[in-house]
Structure 1
Amino acid sequence: MKIGLFDSGIGGLTVLKKVIENFGNHEYFYLADNLNVPYGSKPISFLRENLKNILSFFQTMKVELLISACNTTDSIVKKTNFDTKNYTFTYVSIIENAVKKIGRNDSVLLLATENTINLGAYKEALLNKKIVKIEEKACPLFVPLIEEGYWDGQMAESVLRFYLQDSKSKYQKVILGCTHYPILENQIRKYTNSSIVDPADGIVDFLKNEVNLDRLDGKIKVNYLVTGNIEKFKFLSKIFMKDVKYHPIFKKIQL
């Protein structure tokens, strides 16, 4: 199957990696819009127009599935009447599938970008499930930290401590409401002492149970389509995907 994924940068690789691990040799197209990273603090009007360009791009690529590997843009789809039904591909929501991993009696901490929290798609979905205890925390420094490659060390520890120092053992589940955040999962778990919900796992469940996507054998190839600094993306993707046996192809594009 021809599968597209998109994000503002390397964050969506946390989704791509789990999709590859579970489904193998499909035809993958990953759009990294790192020219415009971070999405979390950009004007919603700009992000809506940019999202139209992204979806139109994937339409011309004739993908069959388009996975939103970005919680901010999926929030825009959910909360600004953005129509995804006029395209030939099936749009896969990361927020819908993340919330499926939350039980009714769970206490929840949502870590996300400012835009994701302000748009309120996660909170609405959680309230619809009758979740009572919900706290939301915007972590705007996480994405730039990750995009610059500071995944551990003193700088990462300082930022994590700044956001999470009062969060230990207060919640049953922590939703990583930005696909960049699983790159810091071990540190987040240490600071919260909670069960971590990675929305990528919800995407995998959806592809298994709703799409009935088969696992295919063979040499895996990923077409990376990068709007900004391609060399930085190559470097960071190589580190994150180092244990994945696949052939990456990088191409600079303009939306």
Structure 2
Amino acid sequence: MKVAVMAGTPVDTQMGVDFLKEKGVDTYSYPVSENPTEQLLFQTLPIEERKEALLELIAKIKNDGMDAIFVYCNSLSSSIDFHELADISKIYIVTPLDVYEFLANKYTYLGLICANGQSAGGIEKIIVNTNSKCTVVGLNSMTLVNNVEEKIPPMELIKNNHLEDIINFFEGINVQALILGCTHFPYFEKELKSMTKLDIINPAEKMYEFLCENLNK
């Protein structure tokens, strides 16, 4: 199978490509924007402009012979209805939001670290609409995204952004798990896990499971 990775910038798109290639998937890169600032501006465009631009990109992806699309970007996923785009374009699309529906039925109290408020709002909406008894406590930081793009070493990034304090906060309020609500953030996932007993959730693994289930039907 050939899978297109769509994400916000070349950096997180490549992270998605690398993730799937490690699984043995024939994968190709389709970033939507050139950098985090351009990505953020894209996500604030009128909905019809975003829809038109993404449908054009999906048309190119189909013309390139891809079998499915792996949207490796939380904030992009939150900015538009990819289920609608999939129906219009007649191609399977999996996004992190599909994973949050699954998590909503597994947990009742979740911590969340996101890139921006749009992403946090989109994730919370999915979770609460799926399970009204699930509470989400979130933090947003574009600085973290920029630091990943700049390839600042993970432990330095964690120190500079006081992530240990943030982990202590989430532990203190007894969340059941902490979602990495940005596909840039697995960059420091290993180091973060070494600092806490909290279940750190990287949605990409479950997305991969969904992808395989669909393409093997």
TM class, shorter-chain normalised? Answer: 0.7 to 0.9
TM superposition shift of 1:75? 0.9
Q: Is the 8 A contact 2:5 2:71 kept in 1?
A: yes
**Which residue in 1 is equivalent to 2:80?**
77
TM superposition shift of 1:141? 0.8
TM-score after normalising by structure 2? 0.80
TM superposition shift of 1:203? 1.0
Query: Could you tell me how far apart the structure 1 residues matched to 2:35 and 2:55 are?
Result: 14
TM-score after normalising by structure 1? 0.69
Tell me, yes or no, if structure 1 residue 136 matches structure 2 residue 138.
yes
Query: Could you tell me how far apart the structure 2 residues matched to 1:53 and 1:19 are?
Result: 24
Query: Could you tell me how far apart the structure 1 residues matched to 2:176 and 2:16 are?
Result: 23
**Which residue in 1 is equivalent to 2:69?**
66
Q: Identity of counterpart residues, as a percentage?
A: 16
What letter corresponds to residue 178 of structure 2 in structure 1? Answer: V
Query: Could you tell me how far apart the structure 2 residues matched to 1:144 and 1:101 are?
Result: 27
Secondary structure class of the residue paired with 1:130? coil
TM superposition shift of 1:56? 3.2
**Which residue in 2 is equivalent to 1:10?**
11
**Which residue in 1 is equivalent to 2:26?**
27
**Which residue in 1 is equivalent to 2:178?**
174
Tell me, yes or no, if structure 1 residue 37 matches structure 2 residue 26.
no
Query: Could you tell me how far apart the structure 1 residues matched to 2:196 and 2:13 are?
Result: 23
TM superposition shift of 1:78? 3.0
Tell me, yes or no, if structure 1 residue 113 matches structure 2 residue 112.
no
Q: For this pair of structures, how many residues does the alignment match?
A: 208
Higher helix share: 2
Query: Could you tell me how far apart the structure 1 residues matched to 2:15 and 2:108 are?
Result: 24
What letter corresponds to residue 185 of structure 1 in structure 2? Answer: E
Q: Which has the higher contact order (CA 8 A, sep 6+)?
A: 1
Secondary structure class of the residue paired with 2:5? strand
Deviation readout 1:43-84 (Å, 9 max, x if unpaired): 5217815434432331332311011111111112239x9633
Ranges in structure 2 where 5+ consecutive residues have no aligned partner: none
**Which residue in 2 is equivalent to 1:194?**
198
Structure-2 change in CA distance of 1:173 and 1:2 (3 Å): same
Query: Could you tell me how far apart the structure 2 residues matched to 1:13 and 1:35 are?
Result: 12
Q: 2:60 aligns with which of 57, 62, 78?
A: 57
TM superposition shift of 1:193? 3.7
Of stretches 158-167 and 2-11 in structure 1, the one that deviates more from structure 2 is 158-167
Structure-2 change in CA distance of 1:163 and 1:71 (3 Å): farther
What letter corresponds to residue 210 of structure 1 in structure 2? Answer: N
